[in-house]
Structure 1
Amino acid sequence: MENIRTSSTHAVWLMVSIVLVALNLRPSMAAVGPLLSAIRGEVPLSFSMASLLTMLPVMAMGLAMFLGMRVALRIGEHRTVVLSLLIIAIATASRLYLDSAAGLIASAVVAGIGIALIQAVMPALIKSRFAGNVSLFMGLYVTSIMGGAAIAASFSPLVLAQTGSWRTGLAIWALLAVAALGCWYAQRRAVTPLPETPARPQASFFTSGRAWLLALFFGMGTASYTCVLAWLAPYYLEKGWSEQQAGLLLGFLTAMEVLSGLVTPAIANRSQDKRLVLAALLALIMAGFCGMILSPERLSLLWPCLLGLGIGGLFPMSLIVSLDHLESPRRAGALTAFVQGIGYLIAGLSPLIAGMIRDQSGSFEWAWWSLTAVTTLMLLMVLRFNPKQYARRIG
């Protein structure tokens, strides 16, 4: 009985540690948008150049994702997360002393590498340790990622208002990484190595049509997330909102993402077939973009609410559908690493494209229309995610 209680206690604290770690995976990007006006006041940045603060770390996440599982195999999952948190903390703290666009971008890229290493190993670890409730715990993990974005978007402008320094508003999130590092290191005995399985090499996913479909679906969905993260606050700043108001609006949207990220996987966990849930989430995203374009000032809270509910549920569901394709935790983890790697490379281009559209057209509205069209295409892709065909589509 005592062993069961001890095991249960370890599982609880491991999940708490995973939540704390996940909170660190977006503040380095989410804090930039609400502070962009203040940053551009001191650092010469066009909207296209500013988009690199979101685009390049996402691209770095995509590239580093392919290394994540290899690093974990070499040094172990626990040490991989420790290393990653150290990278994130150092990159974030360095912003306190940066005064150039190149320095800001470099810090974002380094943080992106640290983020990628964590995101590569976490799905496999969760599938291994919480096999009976993968959807629920993946939902909690991904929701915590979005929660970190909500906290950073909401409080960074407050830090700016209190200190008068956008550098402090960006760098303060290194403290969150230090807190997560302490808690995660204390759980080193609870994180056991993943079981070895006689699986085919990870490279085989490059020849799998289903793996590419999953990666494309994840990338297109994450494009909406990264564009909204980068440009929602600047969009409303152009509408006459203050930095604090725009930051709180982005915080509200990400709070809706958190809510949906918790509730949606719990609903989806009742059925192996996730297609209806995915279609409903995509419909919410389309409605949110259309409303934000056609009537941004009226019902100004409704459109971010719809976007947040749609994007927040879609993010974990995209990874859950990938995990559902394979039984082996390590093999499924390799698939999600591939899906995220390719997906983030796709999504990383979206803030740059949106920034270029803004520079050329003088408005973000055409970028929102483009994302609406992408979401429509994703609705057609959902039809192919029949769980009865998973074993045949990918082995």
Structure 2
Amino acid sequence: MILSPSSTTPPKARWLIVTAILVGLNLRPSMAAIGPLLGDMRGDLGLSYGSAALLTLLPVTILGLAMFVGLALARRLGERRTLSLALVAIGLASAVRLFVDHRLSLLLSAAVAGVGIALAQALLPALLKARFGARVASPIGLYVTAIMGGAALAASLSPALAQHLGWRAALACSGLLAIPALLLWHVLPRDLLQLPAASAATANLRYPRHRRSWLLALYFGLGTASYTCVLAWLAPFYVEQGWSAQRAGLLLGFLTAMEVVSGLVAPALANRSRDRRPVLVGLLLAIVGGLLGLVLAPLQAPWLWAALLGLGIGGLFPLSLIVCLDHLDDPRQAGGLAAWVQGVGYLIAGLSPWLAGVLRDALGQFAGAWLALAGAMLVLVVLSLRFDPARYAGLFREAPRHAAPGPAAPRA
């Protein structure tokens, strides 16, 4: 059952899930609306495919960098102020796009949105882990599904809005989503918004010293690369195949709708066991199938390829985060690990749309980018086999800083 964690949770804690859903809806429209509108934007602003890719690369890269300070900022400002700052940044970054007349101002708005997204994504997984503990899979699934749902709304509605209001107003409209999220966040009880202090045993956990941290970051980064690359280039790819921008936007919207379905179902399936590997491998193979379809027969079954991609990407995103949280029981340290993994991972993922755009400019087609992405997903199939939950307990064990070295930690 999707909402099973809340069945034994006080009703006020359920409002934290509702708020996380509203916040999640704000975390992708600033990027997802760009692909379907890229034709008009390139014409007005003179963007090449490589420079257009910066509109996704920049916020994702800044998202990665800001992840490293998100929880530290929450400790200094407080959780309520930190997420309020995040939502205000996202809303304002979207709103000012109504007035952009140069690509630099558009890139600046993307950078500000990236900071806001990072602060929210660093804080919310830690809060959900603190409230739901071992039952965090379904709340995380709902939160991540909302992220993808926001992308679906933006991709589907932005072409129609642009037709009536222009592309600038279509981009600016996504800022309206921040208002209800901000209002509900401010009325939540204070005790839901505070992270517990880290336990003494893990207070000084240093994530970069552990090989498993880097493995998780690589896994999250390559998995998210599939999301960012498809988000940026699927619609332009089909416009090149002769589709209208509106039809290509609907295809991207359908893909993100499939992500929403998978984001709900995959965590529920994985929640039946602490061993998430069978579900992870199935999701990755679905992505590979969709990417190969884009290369071999893009016009024969486009909706099938979009469905495979959406179902694979939609489940992989939350499960990558859930597997990360599974490694530590302490909520603050699990949240810290998730923030660190996302920080490194988004730096990896941010390069994928830019590299795909460069390949498109160099080769004259997207096939090379889709094949490279399929190869990365096959690498993740192999890495998935390393996530044996029976071995998590000792992976982040640290000796005191001034103590003599003890037995080596298990191999990551």
TM-score interval, smaller chain: over 0.9
SS at match of 1:193: coil
After TM superposition, give the deviation of residue 188 of structure 1 in Å. 4.7
| Corresponding residue pairs, total | 391
Alignment of structure 1 residues 35-54 onto 2, 5 Å: 35-54=37-56
Cα shift at 1:133: 2.1
Q: Is 1:351 aligned to 2:334, yes or no?
A: no
| 1:288 alignment counterpart | 290
One-letter amino acid matched to 1:168:
A
Q: Percent identity?
A: 55
Q: Partner of 1:176 in structure 2? A: 177
* Residue 196 of structure 1: aligned partner: 197
CA contact (8 A) 1:202 1:335 kept: no
Task: Establish whether residue 378 from structure 1 lines up as the match of residue 359 from structure 2.
Answer: no
- CA distance in structure 1 between the aligned counterparts of 2:60 and 2:203, rounded to whole angstroms: 25
Indicate the larger mover: 385-394 or 368-377. 385-394
Partner residue in 2 for 1:207? 209
Query: Which moves more between the two structures, 358-367 or 184-193?
Result: 184-193
- 1:313 is displaced (CA, Å) by 0.3
Residue 256 of structure 2 is matched in structure 1 by 254
Give the counterpart letter for 1:166 in structure 2: W
The equivalent residue for 2:227 is 225
* Aligned mates of 2:140, 2:15 — CA distance in 1: 16
What are the ranges of 5 or more consecutive residues in structure 2 without an aligned counterpart?
Answer: 1-5, 398-412
State the shift of 1:203 in Å. 6.7
Shift of the 288–102 alpha-carbon distance from structure 1 to 2, 3 Å rule, reads: same
Q: Secondary structure at the match of 1:271?
A: coil
Aligned residue runs from structure 1 range 65-76, under 5 A: 65-76=67-78
Q: TM-score, normalized by length of structure 2?
A: 0.93
1:173 is paired with a residue whose SS is helix
Q: Which residue of structure 2 lines up, in the alignment, with residue 12 of structure 1?
A: 14
Superposition deviation, residue 229 in structure 1: 0.5
Q: CA deviation at 1:19?
A: 0.5
Structure-to-structure mapping, 1:139-178, within 5 angstroms: 139-163=141-165, 165-178=166-179
**Deviation at 1:9?**
2.9
1:263 to 254, 262, 265: 265
Match of 1:328 in 2: 330
Per the TM alignment, residue 189 of structure 1 is displaced from its structure 2 partner at its CA by 2.9
Q: 1:300 deviation in Å?
A: 1.2
Moved more, 323-332 or 74-83: 74-83
Name the CA distance, whole Å, in 1 between partners of 2:95 and 2:204: 35
Q: What residue identity is the alignment partner of 1:157?
A: P
Change over 3 Å in CA distance of 1:205–1:289 after alignment to 2 = same
Kindly provide the amino acid, as one letter, of the partner of residue 175 in structure 2: A
> Structure 1: how far apart are the matches of 2:141 and 2:179?
24
Mark the CA change 1:102 to 1:224 in structure 2 (over 3 Å): closer, same or farther: same
Question: 1:358-369 alignment to 2 at 5 Å?
Answer: 358-369=360-371
Contact 2:24 2:147 in 1 (8 A): yes
Deviations 1:95-115 (A, max 9, x none): 000011111111001100000
TM-score when normalising by structure 1: 0.96
Structure 1 pair 203–56 and aligned structure 2 pair: CA distance change class (3 A): farther
Which whole-Å deviations, capped at 9, do the CAs of 1:66-88 have from their partners, x for residues lacking one?
01010111112221111100011
CA drift of 1:247 comes to 0.5
Runs of 4+ in structure 1 off by over 3 angstroms are 199-203
Q: Secondary structure at the match of 1:296?
A: coil
Say if 2:94 and 2:113, in contact at 8 Å, map to a contact too.
yes
Give 3-state SS (helix, strand or coil) of 1:351's partner: helix
RMSD of the TM alignment (CA)?
1.6
* C-alpha contact (below 8 Å) 1:202/1:334 kept by paired residues: no
Deviation (angstroms), 1:184: 1.3
Query: C-alpha distance in 1, partners of 2:383/2:20?
Result: 31
Kept after mapping to 2: 8 A contact 1:77/1:191: no
**How far apart in 2 are the matches of 1:11 and 1:204?**
30
| Counterpart Cα distance in 1 of 2:133 and 2:202 | 21
Alpha-carbon distance between aligned partners in 2 of 1:201 and 1:361, rounded to the nearest angstrom: 50
